[in-house]
Amino acid sequence: MAPANGGGDLSVEPAFVGAGCNRIVNNVSWGPSGLVAFGAQNAVAIFCPQSAQILTTLPGHKAVVNCTQWVLTNKDVHKVGQKELHYLLSGSADGVIMAWEICPSQRIWRSALQFPGMHKKGVTCLTSVMISATVAICASTSSDGIVHIWKITFPSTDNGNCQISCLDSLSVGSKPMVALSLTMVPGENCGLLLAMGGLDQKIHVYYGDLIGKFSRVCELKDHSDWIRSLDFSQPVMLGEGKHNLFLVSSSQDKTIRIWKLASSPASELKKDDIGLTAYIEGPVFVVGSTRYQVSLESLLIGHEDWVYSVEWQPPILFGSNLNQPMSILSASMDKTMMIWRPERNTGIWMNVVTVGELSHSALGFYGGHWAPDGKSILAHGYGGSFHLWRDVGFGSENWQPQRVPLGHFASVFDLAWSQSGDYLLTVSHDQTTRIFAPWKNVKASDNRAMWHEIARPQVHGHDINCVCIIQGSGNHRFVSGADEKVARVFEAPLSFLKTLNYAWAREQGNFDTLDKEVQILGANMSALGLSQKPIYLNSARESPTGTTNDAMDSLETIPDAVPTVFTEPPVEDQLAWHTLWPESHKLYGHGNELFSLCCNHAGTLVASSCKAQSANVAEIWLWEVGSWKSVGRLQSHTLTVTQIEFSHDDTLLLTVSRDRQLSVFSLTKTSDGVDHKLIAKHEAHKRIIWACSWNPVKHEFATGSRDKTVKIWSVNKDSSSVNLLSTLPQFRDSVTALAWRACNQSRNTGLLAVGMDNGFIEIWGIASGNLEASAFSATCAIRLDPFLCHVSTIYRLRWKEVNDSESGVLKLASCGADHSVRVFDVHGK
């Protein structure tokens, strides 16, 4: 819900949410409220196109969200006017449909109701039409081969509840429907037409009244592959009681078909003539007192791959007259969206606008949507990304890319703050490393700088599991570990350093200094997508700086990246290719896939671990920063070491493992490298230990486990043993992430953030006095509101070490299995 939640001495507000869109057709819906809804793993996310920020994520679904649908659509807003409350439907892979109540002006959202559990498999499409200001008819289809028609009655008062009833259930057999569209039939005895299409390659049209059963009235059979999208236009009134309805359909046969349903009084045609007319001109059916003649209006051929979505431009209200623009938006896996309109003189439908991704890394669009005003179009793609274009032309169309929220489209396993706190680095199983930062010159309504993805340093060929930023002086560097046996070291190129200066609105006078210190401008991807080769400053100056798209990329060649200094937040096409960091070193040694990385505070050592099922493989390797030689192999555990942390003074190294053990090593720097000694080993928990975190100013640490407990430990002054100080009260779920931050060094007080398997976050106040158990105290300062939290496992929590000087606000970053990265502003203490 709205910001700040909980009690105690703290309050928490969301500063940033980054998440990618589920890669599923029908996953996105843009409603008359101006907000866009989409599925992000098990959550429903809401974003504002004007600010390019995700406003919230709605928790409730237990499986992946497949589809979303605003109940009040852009077509129906003229019937009921703009409303204060909007309702949103979402369907998930376990057959659950939920309704949400959204108040855009006050930024309030809540779960309104859950539909009766009638679908036995995943919901694949939702459609709705408003009958009146308080009644809507909706239809849902599922992989179980059933289409349900629902009636939703909305409350007429603020405190009322929604009512839901199932009007009809249509069984479509073993070949499910995956596309639906509903529309009202004009006239005195108005009913509903429902079009559905799917795996049987046919379009089935049903008619039903507002309270009763639906019956099939015709079939349309021209497509030669699965039908993926259907959309009815608003009725086009012709006078004398006649009107035309248009239905547009798209298919995996790469074509789009426009069907015209021409009305006339049923009395004009005898029943005996229907068969002959249908044979010659197309299907004929009668509903009430109206006869409809169906004919193929146009066949649109232009896409080169499956066409996943088609949508009519929203109607425009001129005075009291509603005008349906003859304009269709289509989105395809051929990486393009097209706008189709009939040519003014001949009436032949033509492709008048084409936009899309031209980079070789793009893999097509799953859907396209109009803005309520018809001035913008939005696509969501295979890479979980959004693409927004707006017509900014005067007199002629000029569609230009706009900013959108971006994020990972798979589980985010690790994150790290930069040494100065300027940005947040994240890694994910979507095989990318991303950098998020506030862009100071792009302000929200409350004058806060808005966060954006500003670089994508690594685009890899393996799932990335862990990352650490090299601390200390010098250029920005990080080490990442993926589902391979090699850790890779990256260094920031000149283009990123300059972009970061623009993001923070810093003085640009030091650019000449940067040019002398950093000679690498950017990086190119290798053909196999594993290594990233540097582009040097001198060679870049000799090559052309412009990008060309004269020909499609072939399989044999990969185009050169063009490292770019961005003066405003970049968009997806720019991020995907032109913001790579060069790889400087590879660290060989581990026998299995990398799992955990950590750098000490001095920036001299990096520790790493890999997935393991034996003591030999479970070694922790120490690497010397700079020479990148192995300077130690620490043995203690028998299974995967899940997290590694250095103490604040870098003299101790803490490791926790799947073997339920914690180990503490002492580290001493020598002329030959590093001496290490195991000083403590404990079976600390009854289940896997997932997380650990040091007190930033003392030799105390916390461990968190699948046994739902957090334990606080202290290392003796002579660093010879470890004592248990306290066990916090049992949590509601497995503890998977911990982050300890100091508040008052003299009194040894701090904050411990606890992340859980269910996505919830709690922040505890810790006071450990003089390291005696009797002086230790811990209280829960705040439990974050579920609308602020993740909806699946939290993998990492990190406090920003540098305070925001102007406000004293603490920043806490989190990432998890729900594909999201979040930054919280923590106020108080």
Q: How far apart are the first and last CA of the chain?
A: 24
Yes or no: say if 30 and 22 are a contact pair by the CB < 8 Å rule. no
Burial of 227 (0-12, 13-18, 19+ CB in 10 A): buried
| Spatial separation of the C-alpha atoms in residues 29 and 9, rounded to whole Å | 39
Q: Are 13 and 828 in contact (CB under 8 A)?
A: no
Of 99, 131, 214, which Cα lies nearest the Cα of 168? 214
Residue 152 · residue 134 · CB < 8 Å: no
* Cβ atoms of 17 and 784 closer than 8 Å: no
The answer to whether 662 and 621 have CB atoms below 8 angstroms apart is no
Neighbour count for residue 585 (Cβ, 10 Å): 17
* Nearest to 282, CA basis, from 299, 297, 267, 265: 297
Lookup: tokens for 288 = 């009430």
CB atoms within 10 A of CB 758: 18
Rg (CA), the chain: 29
As a whole number of angstroms, the distance between CA 382 and CA 63 comes to: 20
The DSSP-derived string for 261-275 is EEEEEGGGS-HHHHH
Of residues 30, 24, 167, 174, the one with CA closest to residue 91: 24
- Give the residue among 134, 135, 194, 136 at the shortest CA–CA distance from 170: 194
Distance CA 525, CA 537 (A): 17
For residue 780, what are the contacts with CB-CB under 8 A and spacing of at least 6? Answer: 8, 762, 763, 764, 765
* Sign of the CA dihedral with 601 first, then 604, 610, and 612 last: negative
Distance (Å, rounded) from C-alpha 422 to C-alpha 492? 14
pTM of the model: 0.91
Pairing of strands 336-342, 349-356: antiparallel
Nearest-angstrom CA–CA distance, 742 and 767: 10
Strand order in the sheet with 97-103: 65-70, 86-92, 97-103, 108-114
**Contact 778/729 with Cβ under 8 angstroms?**
no
Longest CA–CA span in the chain (Å) reads 102
Quickly count: other Cβ atoms within 10 Å of residue 431's Cβ.
18
Whether the Cβ atoms of residue 39 and residue 63 lie closer than 8 Å to each other: no
Q: Within 13 A of 103's CA, how many CA atoms are on the CB side?
A: 11
| Alpha-helix residue ranges (DSSP H) falling in 347-453 | none
pLDDT of residue 637: 94
Q: Find the angle CA(255)-CA(261)-CA(263) to the nearest 5 degrees.
A: 170
Determine the Cα–Cα distance for residues 575 and 387; give it in Å rounded to an integer. Answer: 12
Q: Could you tell me whether strands 290-301 and 284-287 are parallel, antiparallel, or unpaired per DSSP bridges? A: antiparallel
Tokens of 160: 């009322």
pLDDT at 311: 96
Containing H/E element for 669?
strand 661-670
For residue 385, give the nearest of 413, 371, 366 by alpha carbon.
366
Phi, psi dihedrals of residue 273, rounded to the nearest 5°: -85, -15
How many beta carbons lie within 10 A of that of residue 463, not counting itself? 17
Distance CA 64, CA 241 (A): 46
Q: In this structure, is the dihedral angle defined by the CA atoms of residues 405, 409, 415 and 416, taken in order, positive or negative?
A: negative
Backbone angles phi, psi at 502, to 5 degrees: -65, -40
Sign of CA dihedral 648, 653, 654, 657: positive
SS3 call for 457: strand
pLDDT score, position 645: 96
| 3-class secondary structure per residue, 53-96 | EEEEEECCCCCCEEEEEECCCCCCHHHHCCCCCEEEEEEECCCC
Dihedral pair phi/psi, residue 178, rounded to 5°: -125, 0
Looking at residue 215, its pLDDT comes to: 92
Q: What's residue 775's pLDDT?
A: 65
What residues contact 728, with CB distance under 8 A and at least 6 apart? 709, 710, 711, 712, 764, 778
**DSSP conformation letters of 714-754:** EE-TTSS-EEEEEEPPPPSS-EEEEEEEEEETTTTEEEEEE
> 209: closest CA among 172, 232, 184?
184
Name the one residue in this structure whose structure tokens are 């899940």. Answer: 642
Record the tokens describing residue 307, joined without a space. Answer: 């066409």
Confidence (pLDDT) at 636: 93
Lookup result for tokens 């063009």:
562
Average confidence (pLDDT) per 10 residues, the chain, 829 residues: 49 93 94 93 94 93 95 86 85 94 86 88 94 90 93 82 90 92 82 92 91 88 93 84 89 94 74 52 81 91 94 85 90 94 91 80 85 93 91 87 93 94 94 93 74 92 94 89 93 91 74 61 68 69 40 45 85 86 92 94 94 93 92 93 94 94 91 86 93 92 94 84 90 95 81 95 84 70 93 95 69 95 87
The rounded Cα 309 to chain-centroid distance in angstroms is 20
- The answer to whether 180 and 141 have CB atoms below 8 angstroms apart is yes
Cβ neighbours of 662 (radius 10 Å): 25
Indicate the residue type of 141.
Answer: T
